[in-house]
Each structure stands twice: as C-alpha cells, then as structure tokens.
Amino acid sequence: MTEIFSSSDDIRGGGELPHAQYATFSDPLKLELGGELPGVTVAYETYGELNATKSNAVLICHALSGDSHVAAHDPSDTPGWWDIAVGPGKAIDTDRYFVICPNVLGGCRGATGPGSMNPATGRPWGADFPTITIADMVECQRMLIDRLGIDKLLCVVGGSMGGHQVLTWARRHGNRVKACAAIATSPRLTSQAMAFDIVGRNAILHDHCFHGGQYYGEECKPTIGLAIARMIGHITYLSREAMRDKFEATRYQPRDVATEFEKRFSVGSYLGYQGAKFVERFDANSYMTLSMAMDLFDAGDSKEELAASIGRAEARWLVMSFSSDWLFPPDQSRQIVEALLAARRAVTYCQIASHCGHDAFLLPNEIDTYGELLRAFLANVNGAAVPGVPEAEAGGPSAISIFHPDRTDYDRIAELIPAGASVLDLGCGAGQLLTLLRERGHEKLMGVELDERSVLACARRGLDVIHADLNAGLPQFGEGQFDCVILSQTLQAVLDVPGVLESMLRVGGRCIVSFPNFAYRTLRRMLAEEGRAPEAPGILSHHWYDTPNVRFLSIKDFEQFCQERGYRVHRRVCLDTEAGEEVHEEPNLNADLAIYVISR
C-alpha cells in the first residue's frame, strides 16, 4: 500500500531488523526518576568502519517511531528511515564515518521496553514498565559506546525526540562528544505539543482493550487508541500547507485503503491508512512510554537554565529548524541557540525554509540544505575540508549577498581589528571577511546572516554562523561577548538602526560600522544639479524604487547620531573607493565610504 500515500511514515521505521546487533547489559540500570531495570538489551546497527583512533564515530538518535535501521546496508537491503542522509557519499558519509544507530530504551524494536519480559514475573512488563526518561535512553547509548570502546563521539545527531537525546548527551556526557547536531527539536515540548501527546495517551489508556497494559496475550489489543494517537501525530508532523498540497485537489476522493476508520474524505483515508498501518508495527505501551519520556524532557525553560545544562559540553553545535514546523517551532531552536551563545559555545544555526512541517527533517525536499549543512559541519569538526567542495568554491554560487561584491573595505576593516581579537560579523554574507580574518590568525569568529544560501556557504568555509534577520533583533549574544562586532555596508539596509547599533555596542567591546556616504560629492550633485535620487556604482547602484537600501545617511549624520547617543568614536577611515584611496580632506564631501570604530 505504500504507493498509495507517499509519506514520511514510510521512512519512519518499521519492518524486520535483520542487521541489528544486540548488546546486553546484565547490571541493573538505575533510572533517572527512581527504580531500576534489572538489565537491558540495546539493539543497534552500524555502518562504515571505526578508524584506528576511534575518532570517526557518529551516533544517530532516532525519533519517536524510528528505529536502528537508519539506512539500507546494501542495495538489496530494505530502505532505512534516513537513506537520503546516511550512506556512502551522502551527508553522513559512511565511507568516512562509523555510524551507530541504537534503538531507544522503552521502544519495541529490539531494545528493552514494555513488551520485554519482566524477569520478576515471567511475563511482559506491560504497564509495569517504569517511567523512563530521555536521560535513561542516553545512558543506554553511553553504555553501548563504552562497549564499542569509543571514548569520544565525533558527533551526536538527532531530530525531534532524537534531538532531545542530543541535548541530553551534551548535558550529561559533554566530555564524550566533540560535536552535536540538533535538528527540529526543542529544550522541552510546547504545551501544545504536550497536549497532543496527552490526548493520544488518553486514547490508548481508555481503549477498552488496553487491559491495564497487559494486553500482550489478549486477542483484543488497544489498536484503536494507538491508531487515534498516531493519526493525531500525523497531523502534527505535517504543516497546513503540506496538507493542502497533499489533499486539497482530491478532497472528496478518498483512496480505497483497507481501514475501518472513516474515509469519506481524502485526508481521512490517509489518516485511517496511517493509523491502521502503525498498529501493525508498534506497541501501544512503547508509544505511551516514549511519548511520556518526551513530555518529561526538560533541558530548562529559561536561557540561564538551558545554558547551564546543555552549554556544559565543550562541543561545537549545529542547530537546524524548519520554517513550517509548528510541533517543534523554529523559536524553540532559537532558544537552544541563544542558550549556547550565552554559554559561549561555537554554534551554527539555520532556519530552513520549508513547507513540509516537522516531517521536513525526514524528507528529501530540503536535503540540499540540511544535508549539506550536516556534511559541512561533520567535515569541519572532523578537521577536514568539506568533501567535494574545493575551498575556492565554498562561497561559490551560493555566496550571494544583496550587496555589491566588490568589497574594498574588507582589508581596511581587517586592519582596524587588533590581532587575535574575537569577532562577530553582522550581515556576514558568504563569510568573505571572516575568512580573511581567519587567514590573519583570528580564532573566535562568528557571523550573522539572513540569506539561507549564504549560511550554507559560511558553513562550507568552516565558519560558525547564525541565521537571523537583523531587523527582527540581534540574536541574544552576551554582554561584551566579542572583542569586536562588525556591521559592514549593512547599516543602510537596516530599518531599526538605533536598535541594531545598541545591540552591537552591548555585545562588542569595539564596533566597526561601515556605510556608504550619502553626501559624497557625486551623489550631492545628482540631487542638487539633476534633481534626481542619487544612484552610484556599487552599493548604491539601485533605482529609487527597488533598492535594498532604506536608510540614507551621511558621515555628518552618523557622527551627530553618535554624539547624541554618547557613543565614543575611536577611529574613522574615509575612503574614495572610486579612486581607491583614503580621504582626509572634507570626507563628508569626498568620501563615498566611511568606516568607524565606536564603543559605548
């Protein structure tokens, strides 16, 4: 039936696991919320080869209904749930990395869970299975890693509940991970997401076939409740736009699927099909156990709590969200990012434009962005060049900035920055200036950029960059977090000029601002003599009606602004970029570009 609905469900996991290996631990496992399990088994699959230094291991953590079969092991193997991202030459390249994907504790795919035998009673645990947490899952993974003889993971990667495991690795075993990639996840569920889980659990718990959780031997099992929970889940995994695209054209033509559920409408036949299919492969007690673990997951609500928990790890981070994901909305990923910034961690963040909702992290639609970000990130933390992307091309066709590419001010700005200073570049484009600074020996570098492709270009250059719109407010960097904050040729495109400058001066000891001088003689002349809105080569080479520039200021205006606000001006460099020289006489008339070093 899989051809009837092309769905991420088909790649969420399921089927047999012939490639699974089993690690059994006979010592009792102490659980976070108290109690213990008398011993646990972890089923897992591996891909690629662990290298001699055991430094190339990537742990992939699956989501609620996933399993260890993250990818096919060979062309004849059944598909895995993330074949698009994992395999030879793919983003998580199994030719380079040793990939480990374990089934989570509490699940029903080979790891110990409610369907496993309770040695004390000789029958399945059922509802007696203790309440477990994400930390307990991660503890099992840690035991597995120990058994495999791996001291430090190159990276822990996971989306959704898999992302919760990534955050927990950072929180509890920060010294065991070199890098963390958290995708479409959150510090804790929104109340809304939790509410959907609760309704699903209520449907299972009050299914008359639930039998208090001991339904394993019974003929009647809580399949209705589990199917209802799954249907709710499916709605939340898709966005409104995705559902429209999927179902509106055939609104009144349900697919002829085998389900007892209502199928008057197209979307109903889909839900019925998904519900009916899910109960064939998933255990209701496991569903409740895992969804409760998600609901109980709480890495901290405030930035301070979150920074103290996940910020403890010395890891480098990649955080990704999807614009239409309303179950794990992008602002929750930004919470993670801001906590990491507060903890002074190296982090790259991208909010990927997508119509696919939460499911986007499993679907091919945006793989060109999120997959390539992952690929570049892994290469960077592995200390290698991005495979297949020569350095010269790293900022290549993707490196598009709305501003003029001929940036003669970069060298001048670089000269103004003290040796070794940490630098934040706002509106960093494809990272040209930051790359120049890295070549000059600066180590702590970070960019902020609006354009998604430029964010990817930065990542390919090995730079940390935060995807953000300056007009929506600067990401919450710490007070004085950088020696130097740069806003080069971006001020004129910013609507909230005072807000951005205030934020810069809070974050940086020194700030460098460059902007085109609107009172440059050529521009004055155009208005004064020709009576036309000034245009000029370079940054002002736009028409009055389509320019990205929305603020027009002169050197005199900027100095007056600084004076009124009490900003200190340390240096001023005025350039005539047409002539290629510095201007000393009457700069407000003779310079087309000004660079200021200011502080509070």
Are the C-beta atoms of residues 65 and 282 closer than 8 Å to each other?
yes
- Piece of the chain touching its own copies by CB under 8 A; list 133-141, 190-198, 390-398, 455-463: 190-198
Residue 429 CA to residue 129 CA, distance in Å, equals 52
- Check residue 567 for interaction with its own copies (CB under 8 A): no
- Check residue 506 for interaction with its own copies (CB under 8 A): no
Exactly one of 556, 562, 572, 578 binds its own copies (CB under 8 A); that residue is 556
- Piece of the chain touching its own copies by CB under 8 A; list 49-57, 140-148, 231-239, 451-459: 231-239
Residue 349 CA to residue 358 CA, distance in Å, equals 17
- Check residue 199 for interaction with its own copies (CB under 8 A): yes
Which neighbouring-strand residues pair with 508?
482
Of 280 and 479, nearer to its own copies (C-beta) is 280
Of 55 and 190, nearer to its own copies (C-beta) is 190
Residue 138 CA to residue 164 CA, distance in Å, equals 10
Exactly one of 1, 258, 353, 527 binds its own copies (CB under 8 A); that residue is 527
Residue 262 CA to residue 120 CA, distance in Å, equals 42
**Contact mark string toward its own copies, 265..284, x via CB under 8 A:** xxxx--xx--x---------
Q: Are strands 40-47 and 98-102 parallel, antiparallel or unpaired?
A: antiparallel
Of 205 and 385, nearer to its own copies (C-beta) is 205
Residues 343-382 that bind its own copies (CB under 8 A): none
Are the C-beta atoms of residues 596 and 588 closer than 8 Å to each other?
no
Q: Could you tell me which of 212, 43, 219 has the C-alpha nearest to residue 129?
A: 212
Residues 239-268 that bind its own copies (CB under 8 A): 240, 243-244, 246-248, 251, 260-262, 264-268
The pair of three-digit structure tokens given for residue 299, joined into one six-digit string: 């890495």
The pair of three-digit structure tokens given for residue 379, joined into one six-digit string: 């290469």
First to last CA, the chain: 66
Least Cβ distance, residue 319 to its own copies (angstroms): 20
Q: Could you tell me which of 236, 182, 238 has the C-alpha nearest to residue 363?
A: 238
**Contact mark string toward its own copies, 465..504, x via CB under 8 A:** ------------------------------x-xx------
- Check residue 224 for interaction with its own copies (CB under 8 A): yes
Catalytic residue among 136, 207, 325, 425: 325
Least Cβ distance, residue 71 to its own copies (angstroms): 30
Of 298 and 483, nearer to its own copies (C-beta) is 298
- Check residue 216 for interaction with its own copies (CB under 8 A): no
| Close Cβ partners of 475 (under 8 Å, ≥ 6 residues apart) | 334, 337, 338, 341, 448, 466, 468
Of 244 and 444, nearer to its own copies (C-beta) is 244
- Check residue 208 for interaction with its own copies (CB under 8 A): yes
| Close Cβ partners of 83 (under 8 Å, ≥ 6 residues apart) | 11, 71, 72
- Check residue 232 for interaction with its own copies (CB under 8 A): yes
- Piece of the chain touching its own copies by CB under 8 A; list 5-13, 316-324, 461-469, 517-525: 517-525
Least Cβ distance, residue 63 to its own copies (angstroms): 20
Burial class (CB in 10 A: 0-12, 13-18, 19+), 402: middle
- Check residue 505 for interaction with its own copies (CB under 8 A): no
- Check residue 295 for interaction with its own copies (CB under 8 A): yes
- Check residue 196 for interaction with its own copies (CB under 8 A): yes
DSSP 80: P
Residue 294 CA to residue 193 CA, distance in Å, equals 10
- Check residue 589 for interaction with its own copies (CB under 8 A): yes
Residues 317-346 that bind its own copies (CB under 8 A): 326, 329
| 160 catalytic per annotation | yes
Q: Strand, coil or helix: what is 276? A: helix
Q: Strand, coil or helix: what is 498? A: helix
- Check residue 194 for interaction with its own copies (CB under 8 A): yes
By CB under 8 A, the count of residues binding its own copies is 73
- Piece of the chain touching its own copies by CB under 8 A; list 44-52, 56-64, 197-205, 425-433: 197-205
- Within 10 Å of residue 397's Cβ, how many Cβ atoms? 9
Residues 130-189 that bind its own copies (CB under 8 A): none
| Close Cβ partners of 181 (under 8 Å, ≥ 6 residues apart) | 155, 156, 157, 158, 166, 317, 318, 319, 320, 374, 377, 378
Least Cβ distance, residue 223 to its own copies (angstroms): 9
Q: Could you tell me which of 55, 48, 235 has the C-alpha nearest to residue 155?
A: 55
CA angle centred on 15, ends 12 and 20, rounded to 5°: 95
Of 152 and 506, nearer to its own copies (C-beta) is 506
- Check residue 192 for interaction with its own copies (CB under 8 A): yes
Of 124 and 275, nearer to its own copies (C-beta) is 275
Of 116 and 549, nearer to its own copies (C-beta) is 549
Are the C-beta atoms of residues 111 and 104 closer than 8 Å to each other?
yes
Catalytic residue among 62, 69, 358, 467: 358
Exactly one of 42, 203, 433, 466 binds its own copies (CB under 8 A); that residue is 203
Least Cβ distance, residue 104 to its own copies (angstroms): 20
Exactly one of 255, 281, 453, 524 binds its own copies (CB under 8 A); that residue is 524
Of 551 and 572, nearer to its own copies (C-beta) is 551
Least Cβ distance, residue 473 to its own copies (angstroms): 16
The alpha helices in 424-571, defined as continuous H runs, are 432-439, 452-460, 497-507, 521-525, 555-565
Catalytic residue among 7, 8, 160, 239: 160
Exactly one of 75, 441, 531, 566 binds its own copies (CB under 8 A); that residue is 531
If you search the block for the tokens 């673990």, which residue do you land on?
293
Of 89 and 548, nearer to its own copies (C-beta) is 548
Question: Tell me, what amino acid is at 249?
Answer: A
Which helix (DSSP H) or strand (DSSP E) does residue 144 occupy?
helix 134-147
| Close Cβ partners of 152 (under 8 Å, ≥ 6 residues apart) | 55, 175, 176, 177, 178
Residue 448 CA to residue 183 CA, distance in Å, equals 19
The pair of three-digit structure tokens given for residue 166, joined into one six-digit string: 């990534």
Active site positions, annotated: 160, 325, 358
